[in-house]
Amino acid sequence: MVRMHIIAGKYEILTELGTGGTGVVYLVRHIDLGVSYALKVLNRELSEDDHFIESFKREAEVLLRFSHPGTTQLRDFGRTEDGLYYFAMDYCDGVSLKEILERDGPYPIKRALNIVLEILDVLRAAHEQGIVHRDIKPANTMIREQEDGLEIVQVLDFGTALIKKQLESDASHAVVGTPCYMSPEQASGERDLDNRSDLYSVGILLYELLTGDVPFEGQTVVQTLLMQVTQPPAPFAVMYGIPQEVEKLVLKALEKKPEKRFQSAMEFSKACQKVLESAEQWVNPISLSSTKSSSSQSGDLKEKNDAPEELRILCLDDNEMILHILQHILEREGYTVFTALDCSSIHSYLFNEHIDLLISDINMPGMPGTKICKMLKSEMDDLKIILFSNIADRDLKKKSQESNADGWISKNTKPEEWLTEIKRIVAA
């Protein structure tokens, strides 16, 4: 930490804004100009790394020329009396999207898309100059309200992005960034990231604005990184009541392979605008749950009369052996059974196959069965859900009640007992 009230003879320290592995950020005021800046002082290790500093200087020259109303501009770069390097950027006194999400929850769809459009406009300008941000996330996106009530979106931390780029270029450093918002290529440690990495992060941010959650978050950093690299995003329109057109937009941004994503911020922006323009035709998949009863009064009436007791069951478990056992005992009883190893196909099964009963493992990768249950039960009263796990009965019962499940079954009992309990719950 810098032990002084004045930095480089011209910046008066007002307060410390934050500290991290690469240095300390201060709110400062320029003594002569009276202007406030956010000033980051790099730590001793980085300041004395000649290779790092030379590379950083070259990148800083590019960033000094980069100007956009939607970001804070780099204003100064130099060295303190103690020999520590610093850079000063415009100070933004707005509220971060992270704070707003924590306070208010998910955004309305149109507002979320308009915020993303402003972020993409900043990235378009940055990418045109070869600048990749590397850490797009709600905490780095500020909302400032003007006197006329209009909101201004600002993308912060382009200066810190330079530090990340230099650290990533050194194989001795670990992956740098925020795991929940990293692209697969960034999470896997690739050094040469391009603009499509930022666009993936924008997709994560949009997902979070719409749902209040990030799509990939493990119990550890390593688990989260692995999920970013290997796990496809699960369809989420049904669970959150999101129009399918919006879901399609987000899922394209979250493609694991860069070549399958939007290839530029402009392309992503045009897709967002197209979705906004078609707002009146948006199809809310939640309404599809009501088509089940209406269809039974028309074309499906004959089929229903022929098999009045037919039940269509979806079994969700990441253990293939468990799925095989469930499928065997249920089909033996005449039920129509579908199986899935992950959450990605829930959307398709629930509304294309008219599922009556979902049997879900609690410990599913990506999204816990309890969360799946709670979201579906809030919108689909006619869908019965059974939670299935090998955790202690007391805990399983509690989780079942908390997530509004219709019942629970312990994997520690015999398959015959599973079947008995399934029949009891279905008949209830």
Residues labelled as active-site residues: 135
Task: Give the separation between CA 166 and CA 160, rounded to whole angstroms.
Answer: 10
Q: Are 268 and 275 in contact (CB under 8 A)?
A: no
Q: Are 201 and 118 in contact (CB under 8 A)?
A: no
Q: What does DSSP assign to residue 9?
A: T
Task: Give the separation between CA 361 and CA 369, rounded to whole angstroms.
Answer: 6
Residue 360 β-bridge partners: 316, 387
For 112, the enclosing helix (H) or strand (E) is helix 109-128
Q: Which amino acid, 219?
A: Q
Query: Residue 131's closest CA among 209, 215, 193, 77?
Result: 193
Task: Give the separation between CA 9 and CA 30, rounded to whole angstroms.
Answer: 9
Task: Give the separation between CA 270 and CA 265, rounded to whole angstroms.
Answer: 9
Tell me the three state secondary structure of residue 336: strand
Tell me the three state secondary structure of residue 35: coil
Number of Cβ within 10 Å of residue 357's Cβ equals: 20
Query: Residue 250's closest CA among 281, 290, 216, 224?
Result: 216
DSSP-assigned letters across all residues of 215-255: S---SSHHHHHHHHHHPPPPP-HHHHT--HHHHHHHHHHT-
Query: Residue 195's closest CA among 187, 186, 207?
Result: 186
| Span between the terminal Cα atoms of the chain, in Å | 65
For 317, the enclosing helix (H) or strand (E) is none
Sheet strands (E) in 230-380: 312-316, 336-340, 357-361
Strand 95-96 to strand 141-145: parallel, antiparallel, or no bridges (unpaired)? antiparallel
Q: Are 164 and 134 in contact (CB under 8 A)?
A: yes
Q: Are 361 and 316 in contact (CB under 8 A)?
A: yes
Task: Give the separation between CA 182 and CA 176, rounded to whole angstroms.
Answer: 9
